[in-house]
A and B are shown apart, each in its own frame.
Chain A
Amino acid sequence: MKRERQLGIIYSAPMGLWLTIFFLIPISIIVIYSFLKKGLYGGVEWQFTLKAYQEMFNPAFLKVLWRTLWVSVVATAITLLLALPCGYAMARSRHQIFWLALIIVPFWTNSLIRIYAWIAILSSEGFINELLLSLGIIKESLSLIYNQQAVITVLVYINIPFAILPLFTTIDKFDFQLLEAARDLGATKRKAIFKVLLPSIRSGIITALIFTFIPIFGAYTTPLLVGGKDSYMIGNIIVDQVTKTRNWPLASAFSLIITLLSTLGVIWILVSGMQDKAKGVVK
């Protein structure tokens, strides 16, 4: 038993050390910064203050926070709903590597280039509008870009591989005989999927959820490029605080709060997952 304990440390220590040195130490600087006075030209002055935290309760910020939240929830939900069948189909396919490659390949061109391509697709003289016009489905160009729908579309687009990958990996490990067994016992196909498949790939779903929700919540480029005049998200505010308004403590405070909230969220997901397992929910 003692040997085992050592083994665990040996396995985990390299990463633990790496993250402590190159992540925890830098980040603690940021934590300290959030309690300091902002420097006139960026940076901080070494003087304790809670001003950054007070500044956060600005109604303008809360509005953006609310907008960010609903955009993220909608985009994440769409991403997962699309990714689940994809992961399932890939896991059941004979040509897994082929599909995996197809999912990954588009992502080896820079995301900025692809976002600009989306602008070309969605704009009023873009591909979709031209197609619909020439087919006579619409009479006037639809405004598909520079609004919230465009932001959500592109966010789903950017993040969907990060949902498909973990889902595929877990579904691939799933014993499909269980599904057949459930069917034999009289479950409908849908029932078999919801009651047997989904609970047993729970960890994959949670991973996919974390992988997509968090980057979407912190999105910066997408709302900036395909959003309209009122598409600012929290990521944009934080960047602005670092660069344009030069208020580093406020940016730090924002990041700290976001980190704390998402940490709580993730812990909650993990704990409830563990409880489920303990209760034997996985049927």
Chain B
Amino acid sequence: MLRYALKRLISLAVSLLVASVIIFIAVEIVPGDPASYMLGLNAQPDTVAQLREELGLNVSPVERYVSWVWGMVQGDFGTSYTYRTPVAEMIWQRGQVSLPLALFALLISTAIAIPLGVIAAGRRGTGVDVGLSTATQFGIAVPNFWLGIMMVLLFSVSLQWFSAGGFPGWQAGFWLALKSLVLPAIALAVPQAAILTRIMRSSLLDTLGEDFMRTARAKGLSRNQALWRHAFRNALIPVLTIIGLQFSFLIAGGIIIEQVFYLPGLGRLVLQSINARDLIVVESVVMVLVFAVIVVNFAVDLAYAAVDPRLRRRV
């Protein structure tokens, strides 16, 4: 067990290191200089040079890479070139929008998808199943940013129930902050829910076709009893896999929705930083996202074991 954990830890460290190299190189080769970006069209070359000096850009890329990685190991992500505030602080602030948003969206999508998937599988071939299948097809096809814009036009512009975007901050009050995340979370959740419904349905149907299900029915359980007691838990494994993947997607992929709803999240931070060539911010945020994805995958592995005792023994 200890050896297993150690092995996983080493592989985690190696993936992070590889990721850091790739991210650093990818960001470095993009043309553009943060100092000239900041100083604009009227700046003299000597002023730009002065600013580069101030920002610590005059050292070689290798030196910058080493100091970046070494800083991260110690928990220091460096200081943003343009904002001049510690990157760790910025990530912490922006994460307070992106993480709750992703969780909220995941909650909505799971809350919609699991019951609908079960209903569709339980009533396979009926009008309900066909109806749900059509609806999920639409759900997958609709781009989330379009859905976001449509919801803004309906709920913000016409009905004025919600503000069209922005985030007041958690200090403005929990409900007020949560309210500002409702529309973006729904916009993010709907396409995910559609995918998840389909997975839930097909996974449950597969399980329902297993031999042990026939045994359960033969024991005298009703269709519904057999479904809930025996099929449901077994059908959850692939669903959990997808939920794990979706969560990673939602953290990193909220970028467009954050743009539509002008939310100060991580995605928007990355976008702003790329435009301003605030390389250190881009690198660090992407690194944190990579870390989040790896951790989520690890958590999903643990969740498998919780759902399926057989996997526990293999570990």
Question: Are these two chains actual partners, yes or no?
Answer: no
